[in-house]
Structure 1
Amino acid sequence: MPIRQFQAQRMHAPRDFQSIQPTPICVEIGAGKGKHALLFTAQHPEFQLIAVERTREKFVAMQKQHQIEGQQNLSPVHADAIPWVVHALHPAQVQHFFILYPNPEPHNPAQRWLNMPFFEFLLSRLQPGGQITLASNIPEYIEEAQQQLIDVWKLPFVKEKIAATSARTHFEIKYLERGELCQQLIITKPADYVTRFDDFQPLQGQNPVKEQAE
């Protein structure tokens, strides 16, 4: 069954929302305590990374560590990723999205990233040739996402086994120490890829369109 269209115009802006400039950036969704974000920005000073985390406790931990390390190319953001992306990001602005060990939503498969209508909007924010890294320790999650890429999103990807020595996130360290299989999909957006949101400009904190009564 086809995935319904995402209603971007109905998204409320996150609390204390601040707009960003339409310059090329990388974005990590669900950055947790910021281990990957801090590593990535330290190792790649040529990239600007915005690390989005919804849980306040984890965001504060990331913020504190960022203040200690001081990477100028990292911007932690405390927000729900979906409305933040709609209000903040411009079409074809993002060089790389990182979604590392997201909640597998065992009781609500429709909320998995590649099963959501929002994924089409996310693709519209990605540059041609840009990539999405999706990592998980759950083989069924990766298999389902792989099938969605083939059947629904029609996107090229590479599946990789994550090395036992990798230590990008606290979850990754824990899973690998347990001997679990960790895998990732590296998804690439072709130059000629089209979405229904390619011309949709960020709402920049505007009030969303009110839903009409039925």
Structure 2
Amino acid sequence: MSIRQFQASRMHAPRNFHVINNETICVEIGAGKGKHALLFCGENPDKKLFAIERTREKSDAMHKQHQIEGQANLTTINADAIPWVVHALYPKQVEQFFILYPNPEPHNRAQRWLNMPFFEFLLSRLQEKGQITLASNIPEYIEEAEQQLQTVWNLPYQKQVIAADSARTHFEIKYLQRGELCQQLIIEKPENYQTRFDDFMPLNGENCQSKTSESTHEQ
């Protein structure tokens, strides 16, 4: 599959965008109601996680539960992940990305994460030896991602079957209870891996006249 270059400079910032510090962080894309984000931050108090969810209802639920539990190392964001990443993240800043059970886009495969030009930009934000965890209950989605890793992105990875008692997300619980096969790819960025965005600095809110309705939660 031929993938064109991502047009990062054209991205408008999410509404109510806030600049973040250039420090090592983890990022979860499509965090839903925040089950994994809250668990991860509780189990890893030394790591900072930014959990991004585009859907307002789910983001509000995550934000509310975070207020109850109070993990100091979690920041919840209500925004589209792509413009947020372009405006917020620095090159080689992220230790780990989590993309757990993304929309499989059955009618538009070009919108799957590893098929998008944006994936190259995402790799530029990942530290060397950093990892991307991609989980799905759809075997064809995982198989296609493997093919893209081998033929387009040239990245090493491990393919794992997710344990039947795993409970990281509400979707994961539902799929495993139904007896579905859940798998994940642990993708690693090698040393000296290069992208065309390695010197691209975050836009930090420039071009903020966004037409979207997302808002941002910061704690």
Deviates more, 1:157-166 or 1:199-208: 199-208
Residue type at the aligned position of 1:50: F
Percentage identity across paired residues of the two chains? 75
* Greater RCO (Cα-Cα under 8 Å, separation 6 or more): 2
Deviation at 1:103, TM superposition (A): 0.1
Give the count of matched residue pairs: 208
Which residue is equivalent to 2:121? 121
Which residue is equivalent to 2:216? none
Which residue is equivalent to 2:84? 84
Q: Distance in 2 between the 1:205 and 1:45 partners?
A: 29
Q: Secondary structure at the match of 2:83?
A: helix
Which residue is equivalent to 1:146? 146
Q: Secondary structure at the match of 1:97?
A: strand
Structure 2 length normalisation: TM-score?
Answer: 0.94
Which string of whole-angstrom CA distances, capped at 9 and with x for unpartnered residues, describes residues 84-121 of structure 1? 00000000000000000000000000000000000000
Which residue is equivalent to 1:73? 73
Deviation at 1:2, TM superposition (A): 2.1
Q: Distance in 1 between the 2:11 and 2:149 partners?
A: 25
Which residue is equivalent to 1:211? none
Residue type at the aligned position of 1:175: Y
Moved over 2 A (4+): none
Residue type at the aligned position of 2:50: I
Deviation at 1:156, TM superposition (A): 0.1
Which residue is equivalent to 1:94? 94
RMSD: 0.7
Residue type at the aligned position of 1:184: Q
Deviation at 1:207, TM superposition (A): 1.5
Question: Where do 1:32-181 residues align within 5 Å?
Answer: 32-181=32-181
Which string of whole-angstrom CA distances, capped at 9 and with x for unpartnered residues, describes residues 33-69 of structure 1? 0000000000000100000000000000000100010
Structure 1 length normalisation: TM-score?
Answer: 0.96
Which residue is equivalent to 1:16? 16
Residue type at the aligned position of 1:146: E
Residue type at the aligned position of 2:53: E
Q: Tell me, which stretches of 5 or more residues in structure 1 are unaligned?
A: 209-214
Which string of whole-angstrom CA distances, capped at 9 and with x for unpartnered residues, describes residues 106-154 of structure 1? 0000000000000000000000000000000000000000000000000
Which residue is equivalent to 2:212? none
Which residue is equivalent to 1:212? none
Q: Secondary structure at the match of 2:59?
A: helix
Residue type at the aligned position of 1:155: L
